[in-house]
Structure 1
């Protein structure tokens, strides 16, 4: 390798330090497995590393480094082991297929003519810290290519981090978001919280958030320990006093050494061009055809003229590959589509995505190869295999789609594409017999199987992969298993494709794998002949269930890297995945309803419906079936000759809600009565009659199911029963909410964001009047009316305020002059004047709407304040009506989606906040901008301020809104009174 010339580091230089050891493991776990075609040598981590380093040298995220080094750990033993012998003592051995890649990656670094640095007795983090501090003192800027939390203590004053796999810069703000303190205090927080991975002890009972709160309150670790007697919580005070020396020891373990003696001086790290022939020889030896072509094209050297080099391989005995890797596929095979190819060409991670997709598509589904596990020995073998490789796809089969009603029937596992099994646990014959009582069914005993599966599914070093993990998590939680850690292919898809496509397994399989899975009806029947899964033949159940796990694992291989390509890793990791267990626990909690009250309400609604029916018949002059659109249309447009009749494509008159609302707005009594009748009968059938049927026989409570991936904007929806559509503006709807009650000795607390979407609009559109009004706590609707109609706020006519309120909320949803006229009962021209005047008084809103619409048309999506993408792929449609609808939706999506993201962040933080505070409160329901809790009566006074604090600070520190969030919260015996 050519000698590196000395190039003193000075002001204006940019040093890049690559955390090589950490990157190896990230590349290994994040990217699909890859083997060398000729001999099966595992090279996936090497391939990812080479693409990463090449991109740094060529682009470096828009900046080319002047100095560069890749830093590695020399060995597991360092000076910290002399301080604390158990430091990193429990770290598992690296996977067998990763071990041979360590040395190869060092050879790759040298092939790129980049310094490969490691020193005995010191960790890579200390080397990085020393180089970074020296460069900063010389006036240079430093980028540490890593996401390692331990390195975050270095950030600031010219040093930042760059997570290349997420394409994310990590500065002071990002460190504060993660740790709650500025970088200089990170080591103090870590000293208190400890680190189970590195076996840093910390102080018992103190996590990162609590540690941050303590450090912020007392200033630093030593000040906290000196004043530990002041801590109010007895257990925390005792732990801090008893473990003070352990905290100080932990600080020594986590604090980076910035003054190491360096074997390779900083000035010798100047970037040098690689020798293209040497580099190409290495890449050809590894059989990396794609990057070989790129390097050849960039350097002007024909790769065909270069012979493969020699690469020494250690810790590997050789193996035969099961299938050719996509990198070594023949020319023209497995190429991405044209629209994908341009995206993939510039990024190694993207190339790996499409290579993995091609590889799994080429591997056929062989149902005959799936194993039915009928003995504990075979189950142990599968579990050992999953534990050894560090990830496994999991799926459950049960007797119901609703996890609080379902009984577990079996579990399927997949450890590699095409390698899957099914573990039957509770299948039975039609006569109800199980194994051991006369039925010829071979299955693993439920209790023993769950005991063994618990070891796998709770193992912190094994990633569990599922499609719609919330269902499997809750079902297995009821069996005593807490699944962690996990990935969810449904939510991965939702994170980067919300609004574009459905996210069910069948749809994803067809799109990404070119495979149509076995339909549930094909194994369990349909209609009246459908049986529950426990009655499905075990052999057929194996084909179906094992295929589900196999498909899920293949989808994960293809979809997970796309989070990086779509720049939505943070959305998935902070807004989607953490919410799974929060919602599952809420579903498990359920809410109590008063069955007797529902019965009384049902009777009252029946009487109201009968009264309205009589009024309808009197207005119509005859009796008819009100629920029949045909008969109703004949009365309205045939007999009565009312205007506005519209026909469907079949020639029938339409009597939808919008038609009836238009007629009612024009003063026609019959359509108004029909709308009233529809609302009453819907409330009766949907809630007062149906809710008692949802009361769980075991818990006596109602357990709704939340859907995380069903809306474009990130809003949650609920079903079975749907508790988010109970009307709150009608007396009948409020009566239904009264039936949701707190048990004896408890209260329901409702915490509701006040006008959150208007606040977000004020922030995003930068409307000074609205910002000021929210900051000063003014009546926003009265202020708007005063601005628009030049009337004083004091003594304002309520009807004027009502008009301003309708416009405020209507603007968010793109209301038209026609819609506003109907809502306010005024002429359309007058409504149009109101809207024009509104935009004149608040011009920033029109600017926001125009710029958002233009962005959506150019990109096909819009984003929330937190990076969520809401896609509108058809926004440029030729249909004027559809285009107008999509434009309104695109304008609203960043506002509604940001509000949805904020309450998601609040829910994710709420559980820990309540736990840290020792609060017995339990979060039960989420209804758009509202959270409902069940709280002991004697804890209400302490709990409400905490709930408000978490919700009002939920956007921080990721987004600093220009207006404050406000949460209204109160407690009562039922939901209506608490709201």
Structure 2
């Protein structure tokens, strides 16, 4: 225990809401919601684990809000008036959270008519004046006013447990631009919409910060307004001075509240197990029970967390499925990890790995780009706490770089270590498990090591829980988040190892003892996650999509990333120069229309020009007081005949294409290969579609002339051509099959133009206009579009749009039945499912919030169709290599057929021109039959194939 007294003050209210929004809805055996309770309990547990650490607490208390009123409501009756009531399923958890705190035998402070922030401020100042160090466990910006050092030497800092980040004076200055003692002045100017603190309308964080930086205080900043040149800011400062001064009082923390518990009485020792055991048992927190028993006790009580059920039809959250209990595992012990610095030690670990038949593998590198990163070390794990780190290229250098004077710690030579590891990593007898193992595959492939067979915890998690997070998006599959969610463990972070900003060091310079803790923990946690997640696949129905779609794709996508695609740098340079000229011309025309020069890229300035100076109607201000000038706003003005809106839309498109593609692609060319190597995420879209980053090649416009010009810069190597194979209208074909729409099935079977067929059914005739409208309707209906959305796309009134929707459903009743059936199923089960069993979760499908509910409904209608489409093209990609090999087309070889890109429904290949005739039928057959035998479709899958010297030519 540290000699100096260190008080931790936990902002319990912040913990509660962060826990509620972080975890899925769960209930205890009695059916009471406990998702927030569980998250809150694990957070307290993490703090308890730090008790014996040097920077851990000697004294600790949890502070909660007891009342909704305080002295601030007497000063300003609108204080916090806009705060919504807490969610219904959170309300019954508040008393349970108090019970959880008492179960840890921790002091709980909650005073009537006193806000938790004020109690925290009073305790923090009192302790600091006594020379104590104080850590406030919170990320609340209001509490940052307290950070600093007292005259008696006591320090106050903050700990954001979600980011594992300490917040001191420098971090405050980085966030607000001012020291902690001036944060209140900045807050007074900018206000707070959550607490309904008025501030000064139109003054945002940056302006508020600059005013306080320039003038040193709120009063001085307000006084300076009289000498300012005429401007909106001057008017606002003068007109709303009273609001700012009131806000300064409201944001000031009360630091002299009576203290109900003396800080000396907050001393903590070992947590008594009895009350905690009873609490955990009562609520079915079995994994925490096992941790309390040391990880080696019995299986614990038979109770466990149960999936939450909808409270009433159309209310609350969707059910969350069958969450399985954790297998028995000891807590993470970083001191047990071994740093392997000799060949003998490496041989021993390789032998252990062969005997285990399963080893978790992770690489440490010098950069995020797998195609350029240097290998720094490799970690292995064969069991919980049985992990090692093998440093390979670590060094220390006073010069801060890997120079000739660098000192290298004892480590096995890179070539020797890889030569010994290669048989293990390539052995069919040992399963290699990774977290995002695609990255490790690419790093080690550059050293002539082909890792196989493999499993990936990130992909397993995605197959189980896509979309399951509380915000309803398909994220949350990174190792740190999975460890926190499933293991209740907080991993060391890269920032903790290497620092940030100018003082950051490369991982190769991290001392070996610290590097071992970090790197071996990654392998250890990956293995633990595998033991927890992999058994769930069979129990929860995820095995089929994981084994038949996702896992086979990992090495395929890794290979595509390594192949990359050639781009014509000269063409890109020419396009960038031309775009720059066009952008400058458009800027001049926009300024001429506006009658003055302004920053076209500034939404604030553009909004003032459009709606104040030029007087266009329909301007709407956001919470910041700034006019919205997004795409939809400008398109409406364009439709009304506003020439400036037309020009700004053109300017934005060119500026985006220039920065995102023609400029960025030049920077993305790998100097070693001369090609661009995009990175594909297998978990980036919750429906299962691949997403592309660094650079993103999936958002290049397809149908515009400018988009085609950019695609012309993607070229084949001399003597080769590019081949583009595209599924034709695959989502409409799948809709016809899944909704059993006979007219559409007949049309596809006959090879009829589906939009012509829809136009004939809808409007009785087919011409250019009716076909275009039919095409819009076909796709819009599958995305669950509303009448207002369809009206906007077609430029008609909402009533007419509703008539079209009604007519569509009358002509194709199967589509309406599919939509109704899908929504009923998702509301009941909480997830949609593709034809291959891929689940996409929609936690907000039964939300009382109309926007949340309708957004989930629209996504749920399309998810089975779009997800099935994604599954089919993934199956085609995984089968392509073996099929090409059987045809003697040497897949992946420089003189064979290489699959380079996957963009939406399209695959792009590079191959010698002489192989085109042989490759076309193989590629077409693989794509056409990709669904079989798992799924027999009642409509044919059409594939369009083209070739050319550029990507554009291949279309």
Q: TM-score range by the shorter chain?
A: 0.5 to 0.7
Q: Does 1:893 find its partner at 2:863?
A: yes
Q: Distance in 2 between matches of 1:433 and 1:834?
A: 67
Question: Match for 1:486 among 454, 458, 466?
Answer: 454
Q: Does 1:775 find its partner at 2:745?
A: no
Give 2:368's aligned residue.
401
Give 2:433's aligned residue.
465
Cα separation, partners in 2 of 1:456 and 1:324, compared to 1, 3 Å: farther
Cα separation, partners in 2 of 1:414 and 1:616, compared to 1, 3 Å: same
Give 1:927's aligned residue.
903
Give 1:851's aligned residue.
821
Does the residue aligned with 1:978 lie in a helix, a strand or coil?
coil
- 1:335-484 alignment to 2 at 5 Å? 336-339=304-307, 354-356=325-327, 359-360=328-329, 363-430=330-397, 431=399, 439-484=407-452
Quick check: 1:326–1:355 contact (8 Å CA) kept in 2? no
Instruction: Please report how far the alpha carbon of residue 440 of structure 1 lies from its aligned counterpart in structure 2 after TM superposition.
Output: 4.7
Give 1:500's aligned residue.
468
- What is the root-mean-square deviation in Å for CA atoms of aligned residues? 2.3
**TM-score, with length taken from structure 2:** 0.65
Q: Distance in 2 between matches of 1:409 and 1:775?
A: 56
Count of residues paired in the alignment: 643
**4+ aligned runs moved over 6 Å, structure 1:** 322-327, 432-438
Quick check: 2:306–2:322 contact (8 Å CA) kept in 1? no
Instruction: Please report how far the alpha carbon of residue 942 of structure 1 lies from its aligned counterpart in structure 2 after TM superposition.
Output: 1.2
Cα separation, partners in 2 of 1:844 and 1:537, compared to 1, 3 Å: same
Does the residue aligned with 2:645 lie in a helix, a strand or coil?
helix
Give 1:965's aligned residue.
941
Q: Distance in 1 between matches of 2:308 and 2:796?
A: 52
Quick check: 2:366–2:374 contact (8 Å CA) kept in 1? yes
Instruction: Please report how far the alpha carbon of residue 643 of structure 1 lies from its aligned counterpart in structure 2 after TM superposition.
Output: 2.5
Instruction: Please report how far the alpha carbon of residue 888 of structure 1 lies from its aligned counterpart in structure 2 after TM superposition.
Output: 0.5
Question: Match for 1:682 among 650, 656, 661?
Answer: 656
- 1:581-620 alignment to 2 at 5 Å? 581-620=555-594
Give 2:490's aligned residue.
516
Instruction: Please report how far the alpha carbon of residue 355 of structure 1 lies from its aligned counterpart in structure 2 after TM superposition.
Output: 4.9
Does the residue aligned with 1:474 lie in a helix, a strand or coil?
helix
Quick check: 1:433–1:439 contact (8 Å CA) kept in 2? no
**TM-score, with length taken from structure 1:** 0.64
Cα separation, partners in 2 of 1:848 and 1:696, compared to 1, 3 Å: same
Question: Match for 1:564 among 529, 533, 538?
Answer: 538
Cα separation, partners in 2 of 1:669 and 1:818, compared to 1, 3 Å: farther
Quick check: 2:306–2:323 contact (8 Å CA) kept in 1? no
Deviation readout 1:481-511 (Å, 9 max, x if unpaired): 1111111100110001011131000000001
Q: Distance in 1 between matches of 2:296 and 2:304?
A: 13
Deviation readout 1:888-916 (Å, 9 max, x if unpaired): 00000001000000000000000111111
Give 2:849's aligned residue.
879
> Does 533-542 or 690-699 show the bigger shift?
533-542
Deviation readout 1:85-141 (Å, 9 max, x if unpaired): xxxxxxxxxxxxxxxxxxxxxxxxxxxxxxxxxxxxxxxxxxxxxxxxxxxxxxxxx
Does the residue aligned with 1:560 lie in a helix, a strand or coil?
helix
Quick check: 2:566–2:674 contact (8 Å CA) kept in 1? yes
Quick check: 2:394–2:408 contact (8 Å CA) kept in 1? no
Cα separation, partners in 2 of 1:665 and 1:818, compared to 1, 3 Å: farther
Deviation readout 1:558-600 (Å, 9 max, x if unpaired): 1110111211111111111110000000000000000000001
Q: Distance in 1 between matches of 2:556 and 2:758?
A: 38
Instruction: Please report how far the alpha carbon of residue 684 of structure 1 lies from its aligned counterpart in structure 2 after TM superposition.
Output: 0.2
Deviation readout 1:304-325 (Å, 9 max, x if unpaired): xxxxxxxxxxxxxxxxxx9989
Give 1:728's aligned residue.
702
Q: Distance in 1 between matches of 2:300 and 2:377?
A: 43
Q: Distance in 2 between matches of 1:819 and 1:387?
A: 59
Q: Does 1:839 find its partner at 2:813?
A: no
Quick check: 1:665–1:822 contact (8 Å CA) kept in 2? no
Give 1:525's aligned residue.
499
Give 2:625's aligned residue.
651
Instruction: Please report how far the alpha carbon of residue 761 of structure 1 lies from its aligned counterpart in structure 2 after TM superposition.
Output: 0.6
Give 1:621's aligned residue.
595
Question: Match for 1:808 among 772, 778, 788?
Answer: 778
Deviation readout 1:430-457 (Å, 9 max, x if unpaired): 3478799762511111111001111111
Quick check: 2:294–2:331 contact (8 Å CA) kept in 1? no
Quick check: 2:379–2:389 contact (8 Å CA) kept in 1? yes
Cα separation, partners in 2 of 1:650 and 1:955, compared to 1, 3 Å: same
Q: Distance in 1 between matches of 2:444 and 2:404?
A: 24
Cα separation, partners in 2 of 1:352 and 1:415, compared to 1, 3 Å: farther
Q: Does 1:535 find its partner at 2:509?
A: yes
Q: Distance in 1 between matches of 2:504 and 2:692?
A: 25
Does the residue aligned with 2:364 lie in a helix, a strand or coil?
strand
Q: Distance in 2 between matches of 1:677 and 1:550?
A: 51
Quick check: 2:396–2:406 contact (8 Å CA) kept in 1? no
Q: Does 1:746 find its partner at 2:720?
A: yes
Q: Does 1:946 find its partner at 2:914?
A: no
Q: Distance in 2 between matches of 1:859 and 1:662?
A: 40
Instruction: Please report how far the alpha carbon of residue 526 of structure 1 lies from its aligned counterpart in structure 2 after TM superposition.
Output: 1.4
Instruction: Please report how far the alpha carbon of residue 428 of structure 1 lies from its aligned counterpart in structure 2 after TM superposition.
Output: 1.7
Quick check: 2:305–2:323 contact (8 Å CA) kept in 1? no
Q: Distance in 1 between matches of 2:331 and 2:295?
A: 15
Structure 2: 5+ residue stretches without partners: 1-290, 310-320, 470-475, 890-895
Q: Distance in 2 between matches of 1:858 and 1:662?
A: 39
Does the residue aligned with 1:976 lie in a helix, a strand or coil?
coil
Structure 1: 5+ residue stretches without partners: 1-321, 342-349
Give 1:828's aligned residue.
798
Q: Does 1:755 find its partner at 2:729?
A: yes
